[in-house]
Structure 1
Amino acid sequence: MEGIIVKGIGGLYYVKCEDKLYTCKARGKFRHNKLSPMIGDYVKISIDGEDGVIEEIYDRKSELIRPVVANVTQAFIVFAFRHPDLNRDLLSKFLLLCEYNNLKSIICFNKMDLENEEIDKVREELESAGYEVLYLEAKNNVGLEKLKDKIKGNISVFCGPSGVGKSTILNKFLGREFMETGEISNKLKRGKHTTRHSELVEFEDGLLVDTPGFSSLELDFIPKDELQYCFREFDKYRDGCKFNNCMHYKEPNCAVKEAVQDGKIHSSRYEFYIKTLEEIMSCRGNKK
């Protein structure tokens, strides 16, 4: 039988085959091959009574390391401007993660009922880089219809820091408390980690996955030579550089740096690129 892994807890994997859910273990051969089943994997299973064994994991179209989920087609990157305050670097890291994995990313700013002064500046920066931005008040059902329209035919992941309302959005869609929602820590002004595991759920002819919130995200697995391709606004200037292997760092006659100087690329995005590049270059295995 063939199906998709919709949940994994404690070494057990829940595989949906048509309309039935099977609790499965994975063959030991996967450990020997250093391959672990992931949420979203399409698999072949054998059945013994009500339980099953994962016999084969089919090739993945995409693979996220954090959150750990396979075959995602798009990501809803959920943040807030207040409660918790917007972490610009973390937002940029999530965008890089999606770009590196060739995922369509849609930025969703929730809690728009809270007063803030950054909206226009952040929106202009993100939209000029080519990103779609949606504005939500999930608790009041504002903006959720636009989000719902994008789900059909996709495996969509909700990702972002804790406390921004990812689980609230999912619960609103499903009309029930599918995921536990949490409060904001008054002391740290950060969200409490409320989602304990990833799970796929059917909705609007698509599949959704809510994931644990993250207060940090490391990107040192991205090769330094590939980082520039995660910044889509660099694309139309890259061919104008003097050197074919230009990394837009310290090289002369760089068209990307000229575009930054001319205001065609936001300086904050370029500065984040340089910051990330230097972090990657300082990691063992990326030095030359």
Structure 2
Amino acid sequence: MPEGKIMKALSGFYYVKSGQDIYQCRGRGLFRKQKISPLVGDEVQFDISNPNEGYIFEVKERKNELRRPPIANIDQAIIVVSAKEPDFSSLLLDRFLLLVEANQIEPVIFISKVDMLSADELAKINSYQEIYRSIGYQVEVSSTKDGSDLQQLMPYFSNNISVIAGQSGVGKSSLLNKLNPQLDIETNEISSSLNRGKHTTRHVELVEIAAGLVADTPGFSSLEFDQIDLETLPVCFPEMRRLQNDCKFRGCMHINEPKCAIKAAVEKEEIAPFRYKHYVSFYDEIHTRKPRY
């Protein structure tokens, strides 16, 4: 039985790539009973005895998956944040980073539209860039006027399955179009009244870019932390993860506990105070959320 990867899901059909060919398939009825839903990115076994339509019989074990957008087996997330229109938000970036880290996906931070900044604004963005790089994150920057510097992203895509994440209006579709002009993905202007863009991508599909696969998705359509528990939270901050064994108490949550190595590092500014402030905010959000049954 042939094996392949689901490249697109649309209207109940799954388009599976095996070798150089794409096969239109449906999921077998048994999946519904077992509550298994095939996802774009899944490695599957399928039957193509019917020349017009195949059937997926088995979904291989996933290394990770996202629910919104629904995609599996992602290697990395290119998190696109704009420097201007909409304005750069370290809080929003840290929400994306937390979601990505919690799903064991490698993040790459991409700051767009830096050409729109004043000298003072650019200096501020540069300081953020240095902080995130010191944590260990890959950070790249680009302008809206000149797409030639997008070539710096090409090595990240090679041999990886990537998802482009970021708020609407930061230029995700434009980014993909510049990387592969044949895609011709629809883009919309920014809504000036809302200071954000409109969603333009309506289904999940893997497209080939720079010897890799990239998911053309609406990005994270939800930034809720409903799948993240309090014990996972500190592990998703790399600068805290490195110091957590230095805390006096095992299982320290770095909030009210005495002799906490994390709080000491924040006081010395070895950990950026804004990052710790966001950590506390996320802690409170997860701690006070209502249980779901």
Give 3-state SS (helix, strand or coil) of 1:23's partner: strand
The CA RMSD measured in Å over matched residues stands at 1.7
For 1:15 and 1:143, how far apart are their aligned partners in 2? 33
User: SS in structure 2 opposite 1:222?
Assistant: coil
Could you list the runs of 4 or more consecutive aligned residues of structure 1 that deviate by over 3 angstroms after TM superposition?
A: 213-216
Q: How far did 1:127 drift?
A: 1.8
Corresponding residue number in structure 2 for 1:79: 81
Structure 2 residue aligned with 1:241, among 247, 250, 254? 247
Q: What pairs with 1:117-136 in structure 2 (closer than 5 Å)?
A: 117=121, 118-136=124-142
Equivalence map 1:141-220=2 (5 Å): 141-213=147-219, 217-220=223-226
Q: CA deviation at 1:111?
A: 1.4
Q: Match for residue 112 of structure 2?
A: 110
Q: Provide the rounded CA distance (Å) in 2 between the counterparts of 1:86 and 1:68.
A: 27
Question: Normalising to structure 2: TM-score of the pair?
Answer: 0.93
Letter in 1 for 2:146: N
Question: Kindly tell me: are residues 51 and 139 of structure 1, through their superposed partners in 2, closer, same or farther at Cα, counting changes over 3 Å?
Answer: farther
**Cα gap change, 1:66 to 1:215, in 2 (>3 Å):** closer
Q: Is residue 285 of structure 2 the alignment partner of residue 284 of structure 1?
A: no
Contact 2:27/2:56 (8 A) holds in 1: yes
**Gap runs ≥5 in structure 1:** none
Contact 2:234 2:253 in 1 (8 A): yes
Deviation string 1:105-157 (CA, Å, 9 cap, x unpaired) is 11001112111513123213322222111011255214211101221111111
Counterpart in the other structure of 1:69: 71
Identity of aligned residues (%): 45
Name the CA distance, whole Å, in 2 between partners of 1:191 and 1:86: 15
Q: Is the 8 A contact 1:162 1:214 kept in 2?
A: no
Give yes or no for contact 1:76–1:159 (8 Å, CA) kept in 2: yes
Pick from 101, 104, 108: which aligns with 2:103?
101
Q: Deviations over 1:27-55 (max 9, x none)?
A: 12222222211110011111111211111
* CA deviation profile, 1:157-210 (whole Å, cap 9, x unmatched): 111111111111111121224321111002111111111122101222211112
Q: In structure 1, the residue corresponding to 2:130 is in which secondary structure? A: helix
Is residue 228 of structure 2 the alignment partner of residue 222 of structure 1?
yes
Give, in whole Å, the separation in 2 of the partners of 1:139 and 1:171. Answer: 14
TM (normalized to structure 1)?
0.94
- Secondary structure of 2:46's partner? strand
